[in-house]
Amino acid sequence: MNSLIIAPQWIGDAVMTEPLLRRLHARGERLTVGALPWVAPVYRAMPQVQEVIEFPFRHGGLQWRARRTLAKQLNGRFDTAYVLPNSIKSALLPFLSGIPKRIGYLGESRVGLLTHRLRNPKDKPPMVAFYSALSGETQGLEQDRPRLQLDQVQVDEALARHALRPRGYLVFAPGAEYGPAKRWPAIHFAELARLLDRPAVLLGSGKEAPLCEEIAQAAGGGHCVNLAGRTSLMEAFALIAGAGTVVSNDSGLMHVAAAFGVPQVALFGSSSPLHTPPLNDRAQVVWLKQEPAYQPPLDCSPCFERECPLGHTRCLVDITPERVAGMLRG
């Protein structure tokens, strides 16, 4: 059976879909993933994926002409489509391609676009189980953990380009696409770099390069190497896979580190590790909301807002660099 996977648009969500793809592959489905260019590298790190098609779409709008053109090219190639995002436009391509079996959540009233529809969960379920349920299986969804894999040659070449020793450096991922309410303060990352005795490689998108440069400048003394916006996403994956430890906010790169099984410290503030935890036995999570001894209690967390509604972001500001350094040394 040939199956088309319509991928989510964010890196973290894409990583969370890996257990679903592993289930589909195990039962004999040949998997092709259709993904936006900035998400496609995630699926190239999944051995069960046979082909990745990069979509020529942009944010916003139906882009009807582009979808119809691509649909003609895909017509007759697939037996089944799994539509992972909940939007109407994500379900259009499988419909226009004439794929006979189209599976997804009801989402934005997609009754006519999908042939097999799951009801939308009332609460925020764990994301892995949310996606894995599209397989039609019910057993073990909560135990699924995403796994990514790169050829060791790719990792070695990336480390050699930047004169890094395997496990001899840290990765800091100080960005968070959703907004500043999810970001540990830059000055805290800089202080953490000064407290540790290993170089820290700063990774992120081009938009996060100024933030990473601020951290590098504040840390001083050559403690940080700012590679934000200077690597491809696949090279960033290789640098994460080869790192000794990753320190990050709740972000796409946090989930990438978890899927590679790298030791990590994940810092949560406005979001919840009950919903999007790093699924990694070697992960340590800091979320002040879960700590009864923290006073006064953070009744406002998680707010899931882009910016702190109260203006103080205590949920992250009050996580000290000294605490995180102690976790890394321990």
Which pLDDT value is given to residue 268?
96
Which pLDDT value is given to residue 44?
97
Q: Which domains does the chain have, with CATH numbers?
A: 2-140 (3.40.50.2000), 152-329 (3.40.50.2000)
Out of 23-27, 33-37, 61-65, pick the least confident.
61-65
Which pLDDT value is given to residue 237?
98
Asked if pLDDT for residue 296 goes beyond 80, the answer is yes
Q: What is the mean pLDDT of residues 167-187?
A: 93
pLDDT level of residue 62 (50, 70, 90 thresholds)? confident
Cis peptide before 296 (omega within 30 of 0): yes
Strands annotated E in the chain? 2-6, 30-35, 49-54, 80-83, 101-105, 116-118, 170-173, 200-202, 224-226, 245-249, 264-268, 283-287
60: left (phi over 0), alpha (psi -120 to 50) or beta: left
**Cα 53–Cα 251–Cα 150 angle in degrees, nearest 5:** 50
pLDDT level of residue 199 (50, 70, 90 thresholds)? very high
Angle, helices 186-195/209-219, rounded to nearest 10 degrees:
40
**Residue 79 tokens, joined:** 């037996």
pLDDT digits over 86-143, tens only?
999 999 999 999 999 999 999 877 889 999 999 988 877 788 999 999 999 888 777 8
Angle, helices 233-241/252-259, rounded to nearest 10 degrees:
50
